[in-house]
Amino acid sequence: MRLSGSADEPAYLETALGSFLELVSAAEPAPAGGSAAAMAVALAAGLCVMAARLSTRQMSDAPDLAATAEQLRDRAAALCQADADAYRRVMSALHEPCEPDPQDRQRQIAAALLEATDVPLEVVETGASVAGLAARIAECGNPDLLGDAVTAALLAESGARAAAALVLINLKGLQDDDRRNRVARLIEETAESAGRARRRVEP
């Protein structure tokens, strides 16, 4: 499966982990923060899949939770590529010449930034869902997998918070209070879920 729209761009899910880390470390604009945030959420969802599959004795709906977590994992993994692709379009708009129509260039940049905001916003949404699943597994699942469930919740929260920061950066100077408010609500929800999971290991 190729997630990149161009044959000369790397498809991140087809690369080895070490190669992906090299891509993140390269002196290139992408993959960067958004892709890293998406991958953190994908890893968190993967831990939820595993922990749910091993919690069938403790939770009657464990198979359903595992299937949901698997869908979230695949969605977050795809967003890793999508964020880099969207950011490349922002960079392309920024490199457009100012003349002969500087206002048209500004409109293109604003449109590209709004489009690029959609991806990290989806990462936030996915992270919130993953954190909720992780908290449920931490509270009711296989106690031997508690550490994995807590790790999943904290990773999901970290990825969601990172993506939320990117949303706000992209919206700077743009009027879009709906997205700002939605991000705030999602981060509050994510933090509550992560807190539930974390309390399972606090003395």
Three-class SS state of 135: helix
Is 11 domain-assigned? no
Is 9 domain-assigned? no
Q: Which domain range does residue 74 map to? A: 19-199
pLDDT at 3: 33
* Beta carbons of 110 and 171 less than 8 angstroms apart: no
Is 1 domain-assigned? no
Is 56 domain-assigned? yes
Is 8 domain-assigned? no
pLDDT at 63: 97
pLDDT at 21: 86
pLDDT at 184: 95
Query: CB 164: neighbour CB atoms within 10 A?
Result: 24
| Residues 84, 77: Cα–Cα separation, whole Å | 12
Is 83 domain-assigned? yes
CATH number at residue 47: 1.20.120.680
pLDDT at 7: 39
For the chain, the domain total comes to 1
pTM: 0.86
Is 28 domain-assigned? yes
Is 14 domain-assigned? no
| Residues 25, 32: Cα–Cα separation, whole Å | 8
| Residues 186, 178: Cα–Cα separation, whole Å | 12
Q: Which residue, among 13, 123, 25, 132, has the nearest Cα to 68 in the 3D structure? A: 132
Give me the helices (H) in 95-176, please. Answer: 102-140, 146-171
| pLDDT in 10s for each residue of the chain, 203 residues | 233 334 345 577 778 888 888 888 888 777 789 999 999 999 999 999 999 999 999 999 999 999 999 999 999 999 988 888 777 776 666 666 666 667 766 777 777 777 778 899 999 999 999 999 999 999 999 999 999 999 999 999 999 999 999 999 888 876 777 889 999 999 999 999 999 999 999 88
Record the tokens describing residue 57, joined without a space. Answer: 């004795």
pLDDT at 93: 62
| Residues 13, 42: Cα–Cα separation, whole Å | 11
Q: Which residue, among 130, 140, 144, 145, has the nearest Cα to 194 in the 3D structure? A: 130
